[in-house]
A = this chain, B = another copy of it.
Amino acid sequence: MRQMEPVEPTAVTLDDEFWNPRLETNREVTIEYQYDQLESSGCLENFRRAANGETGGFEGMWFADSDAYKWLEAASYVLATTDEPDPELADRVADVIDLVAAAQDEDGYLNTYFTLEEPDKRWTNLNMLHELYCAGHLIEAAVAHHRATGDESLLEVATAFADHIDDVFPDRIDGAPGHQEIELALVKLARVTGEERYVDLAAYFVEIRGHDDRLEWELANPEDIAGYDPGGDGIVEGARGVFWEDGEYDGSYAQAHAPFEDQEAVEGHAVRAMYFFAGVADVAAETGDEALLTHLERLWENMTTKRLYITGGIGSAHEGERFTEDYDLPNETAYAETCAAIGSIFWNQRMLELTGEPKYADLIERTLYNGVLAGVSLDGTEFFYDNRLASDGSHSRSGWFHCACCPPNVARLFASLGRYLYTVDGRDCYVNQYIGGTASVALEEDDLTLTQETALPWEGDVTLEVTAPEPTTATLHLRIPEWCDDASITVNGEIVSTADESYVSLERTWDDDRIAATFEHSTTVVEGHPAVAATAGRVAITRGPLVYCLEATDNDRPIHQYHIDATTEFTSTHRAGLLDGVTVLEADATVPSLEGWDRTLYRPAEASSNTITPLTAIPYYAWDNRDAGPMRVWLEAQ
């Protein structure tokens, strides 16, 4: 098993024409608004009241504590990565940490829903009350804050809670959580504290899932667990539906239908699945358990060959926000939750680090530019939870303030985007994503500074300036993206062979060198597997990492009338003034002739009743930023 180390976002300063405006919006709009929401939703008030020993009056969803933790995590990344100090944000973070710390019980337990509402029912409802989920987000926030600032205040809170959990599980309670998150968090905590027992606890939560009948017992005995409302409308009632299938318990919603290594396919709630698999990968990394990794590879194969949208989106069903069946990938009703795409990036990054296989970096790139990026409006204030691949015009993003999970998840991903660029393994450094900026890369013995510039996702030109305090021998591996037709690479002007490699390896003594790469790419018309009903008779358009779509506002005919095929020729034009700057694709498409339809709704089909008309496609991520109207990724094939 490989174990590449990521270059942490604290060591990366991004400076990228495409990403700068998005990251700035994330810092200055999204994270600000999210803080306001913590206050207005009552989330911070829950901590204050718990700290003051009050009871009752909990506000928000029962897992609202995690909103504060996700905000702390995102804000910590911002503190770590902005050029100039932000004392205002630092103070605000410190204040929230003080609040969180004050709400912690003496035994380390920390969950304001239970402290305020059901103090005697801790750990009785692992399915839905999300104590372990909230604990995981607390730990992730604490690790991020510690790495960003060196401060230990939140880490101490998280460690105390983790120790409490370690006391409880499995000796007093034996069971897995309904929503994974604690697993990957405990491994992060182990890495920052050096405490192996957190890995053991994470491994326990992975191992117990699907083995015990704890979740089933809880759902069969609602009156014995927290969240029970004798009137029948409590948390417990809402939770039961997703675990029942045809009148019987089915744990697949929470990947608890079978032990991990007996799970044949990616099943259930897509976010839970992604957090789970990320946690399993972390446990595998720490324990060296090859069997876990091998089974993760099997599940990845199932997901990517049978249950993945072309955008990288996953989980096709709105009901249960879940995976359904192989090849069931409807467009108009696609759920493809933004959080699930983010979770997929978390999992794929771990797979990349454990295997060194660039296919995982390819999927991260595809998911980032399409499945995730479509989830946020260009101005950073509106969000899609569900990312449909076709719309009749009635589907638009919602203001972030109506949402609970996706906006903060986008915020923490964007604020930590630097972590996805480079990985290191001894004297080898891997360039996984092409996003501009400067990184300080610590190799086994020496440091390199990599300064990347790129025209992606529009053009395939990338330059990397490599500098070292003194000449340093190392191998740089550049990923050749899956969408690249032809890669040409020079080092200080000298051509390097790139034949048939998915990583081009450049071994030399680096001093002050310049790598210039061009990843040629053309517009490609793509078809889906014949088993996918939703893509039957349809094709999609991609260019580089981007999936394109037709939006009504750019096209004269109703968009369902445009037919293209593999031979359609596209021209690409960058329009700086459109949608914050996008490259549009134009072609002559076939549309049905409108002749002979007067007062006719159906008629015998005619072999040739088509005409030619221009088509304009825009990147999928940019749709629904103008007037609402129909949109399609999959166009009719002619």
Contact = CB atoms under 8 A, between A and B. Distances in A.
Interface of A: 301, 304-306, 308, 310, 392, 524-533, 536-540, 558, 560-561, 563, 565-567, 591-594, 597, 599-607, 630, 636-637
A443 to B, nearest CB: 35
Contacts of A310: 602
Contacts of A601: 304-306, 308, 528-529, 532
Contact of A537 (B305, B532, B537, B606): B537
A362 to B, nearest CB: 12
For the complex formed by this chain, how many copies does it contain in all? 2
A527 B602 contact: yes
Given A301-B599, A305-B601, A566 B527 contact: no
A570 to B, nearest CB: 13
Contacts of A600: 305, 529
A565 B610 CA distance: 14
Given A558-B533, A560-B536, A566 B603 contact: no
Give the 5 A-B CB pairs with smallest separation, nearest first. A537-B636, A566-B605, A533-B560, A536-B560, A530-B592
Chain B CB count within 10 A is highest, among A304, A537, A600, for A537
A528 B603 CA distance: 7
A538 to B, nearest CB: 8
Contact of A594 (B530, B565, B567, B599): B530
B636 A526 contact: no
A547 to B, nearest CB: 10
Contacts of A529: 597, 600-602
Nearest to A541: B605
A566 B308 CA distance: 34
Given A530-B597, A536-B636, 16 more contacts: A301-B599, A306-B601, A310-B602, A525-B604, A525-B605, A526-B602, A526-B604, A528-B601, A529-B600, A529-B602, A530-B592, A533-B630, A536-B560, A537-B560, A537-B636, A539-B605
A542 to B, nearest CB: 9
A627 to B, nearest CB: 17
15 contacts: A306-B601, A526-B602, A526-B603, A526-B605, A528-B601, A529-B601, A530-B591, A530-B592, A530-B597, A533-B560, A536-B561, A537-B560, A565-B607, A566-B607, A567-B607
Contact of A605 (B561, B565, B602, B630): B565
Contacts of A540: 602
A531 B594 CA distance: 9
A179 to B, nearest CB: 28
A591 B567 CA distance: 20
Nearest to A301: B599
Chain B CB count within 10 A is highest, among A304, A536, A604, A607, for A536
Chain B CB count within 10 A is highest, among A304, A537, A593, A605, for A605
A576 to B, nearest CB: 29
A189 B314 CA distance: 61
A56 B530 CA distance: 60
A290 B109 CA distance: 82
B524 A604 contact: yes
Contacts of A605: 525-527, 539, 565-566, 637
A310 B602 CA distance: 7
B603 A527 contact: yes
A155 B310 CA distance: 66
A360 to B, nearest CB: 15
A608 to B, nearest CB: 9
A60 B312 CA distance: 50
A395 to B, nearest CB: 15
A607 B567 CA distance: 7
Chain B CB count within 10 A is highest, among A392, A530, A602, A637, for A602
